[in-house]
Amino acid sequence: MHASAAKSGLSPTTHNTRSTGQAFPRILVCELLAPVLGGSLTAAGLPQASRFRLTNAATARGIALLGSAAVVSIVYFLAARLGLALVSAPSDVAVFWPASGVAVGLLIIFGQRVGPAVVIGVIVGTVAASVMSDKSLLTSVLKAICNASEVVLASWLLERLFGRPFEFGDLRRVAGFLVAAGLASAASATVGAWTMVLLHGYAPYGDVWRAWLLSDLVGIIAVAPLVIGLGQMWREPPTRAEWIEGLGLLGLTALACLYTMSFHAGSWLAFSPSAFVLPLLLWLAARCRPTFGIAGAFLASMSIIYATIFGIGRFGEAAVPLIERVKGAQVATMTVTIFLLVLTALFAQRKKAEEGLRKSERLLAKKSYALASLHEVGSRLWLKRDLNYALDEILAGAIALLGADMAPSGSWIARVAC
C-alpha cells in the first residue's frame, strides 16, 4: 500500500485518510438501511484501514439515529396536526389522534432497536404540534412523554406476547393487539389527564381521561394495522396480479367512501353507506392480501374522520351536537377496523388450513403409491419366488414410504437409497 501511495505522490497517512473518507458514506448507508433490511453494519468491501474504525461507525450510527428521528418527528407532527384539527371543547383534547397509530406501527415493524429514534421523534413531533396549538411548553413536554410511553408500552406488550414479526394471522393476535392498544391508551390517559387537569383545569378528570383514552385508542386501532401491514408487504411483496386487483379495489373503495359520505342527512344513502362500501371491503378481505383489506378499512375510517372534522354529510349535520357526532364517528371507525381485522384473520386462518390440507393430500398420495408398490412387489415374490429381486424392490418401496412420512428428512433417505 505504501508503494502505491508513493507512486501517486501521496503519503500513507493521506492515502488512508482519503480511503476512510470514501468509506464513511458506505458505513452511513449500511446504518440507515440496517433497521429496514433486518441486517447489521458490515465492513465487507471497505478499505482495510477503515474496517475497524469505530469512530466512523459510531458517527454513522449517530447520524442514522438523528435521521430516523427526524423522519419520525415529521410524520408524527403531520399526523398530530391532523388530529388537532378537531378538539373536544370541555377537555381540550383531540378527538382523534392518528399520530399514536403511526408511531406504534413503526415501532412494531422495526422493533426496539429503533426505539430511541421513535421516542425522540414522538417527543419532538408532539412538542412542535402542541406549541403551535397555543399550548405551554411544560404542557407540551409532559404530553410528549405520555405519548412516547404509550407507544413503547403498546409495542413492548405485542412483542412480549407474540414475538416478531407481528402479523394479523389469527384471532388471538387480533385480540392481543386490541388489548395492548387499550392498556397503552389507558396508561397514557391516566397520566395525561392529570397533567391537563392540574395545569389547566379545563374539565373534570373523568371527562379528560375518557376523551384522551378514546382519542388514542381510535388512532391506534385505525392507523397502526395499516403501518404493520405495509411492513409485511415490504418483507413479502405481492405478485403483479395481486397488486392490480388490490389497488383497483382500493380505488373503488375510496370512491365509494367519498360518494356516500358527501350526501347530506336527508338522503337515504346517508343512513346506509355500507350498502356501497361493505361489499368492496368483503372482497378485499376474501380475495387479497391482508394488507389490502386493512387499507380498505383505513380508507373507510379516514372518510368518517374527515367528514366529522370538516362537517361533511351526515357526520357534519349541524342539528346534531358535535359531541354526539364525535362519539358516532369514533364508534364507526373502531367498528369498521375491528370488523376487517377479524375477517382478515379468519380468511388468513382458512388459507393456512387449506395449504396444510393440500400438503397432507400430497403426502397421502405418496404413501398410497409406496404401499401400492410394496403390494405389487409382494405379489411378484409370491408368484416368481425371486427372493433377491424382491428384497431390492421391497427395500426401495420401504424407503419411499418412509420418505412420505418424513418429508423434511428426504435428503438422508436419498443417500440411503443410493
Please give the backbone phi and psi of residue 87, each rounded to the nearest 5 degrees, phi first: -120, 135
- Inter-residue contact 298 to 96 (CB < 8 Å): no
Please give the backbone phi and psi of residue 96, each rounded to the nearest 5 degrees, phi first: -125, 140
Please give the backbone phi and psi of residue 53, each rounded to the nearest 5 degrees, phi first: -85, 95
CA 108-173-163 angle, 5° bins: 45
Give the confidence band of 90 by pLDDT, cuts at 50, 70, 90: low
Which residues are 316's β-sheet partners? none
Q: What is the pLDDT of residue 184?
A: 94
* pLDDT > 60? residue 255: yes
- The answer to whether the predicted template modeling score (pTM) of the entire model surpasses 0.85 is no
C-alpha dist (Å) from residue 275 to 245, 295, 322, 325, 343: 21, 19, 26, 21, 18
Instruction: Using CB atoms within 10 Å of the CB of residue 156, give its burial: 0 to 12 exposed, 13 to 18 middle, 19+ buried.
Output: middle
Q: Residue 358 gets which letter from DSSP?
A: H
Q: Could you read off the pLDDT of 126-180 as tens digits, one per residue?
A: 999 888 877 788 888 999 999 999 999 999 999 888 888 888 888 999 999 999 9
What is the percent of the chain where pLDDT is above 70?
Answer: 71
Helix 240-261 × helix 290-310 angle, to 10° = 20
Q: Could you read off the pLDDT of 286-337 as tens digits, one per residue?
A: 888 888 989 999 998 888 888 887 777 777 777 778 788 888 888 888 999 9
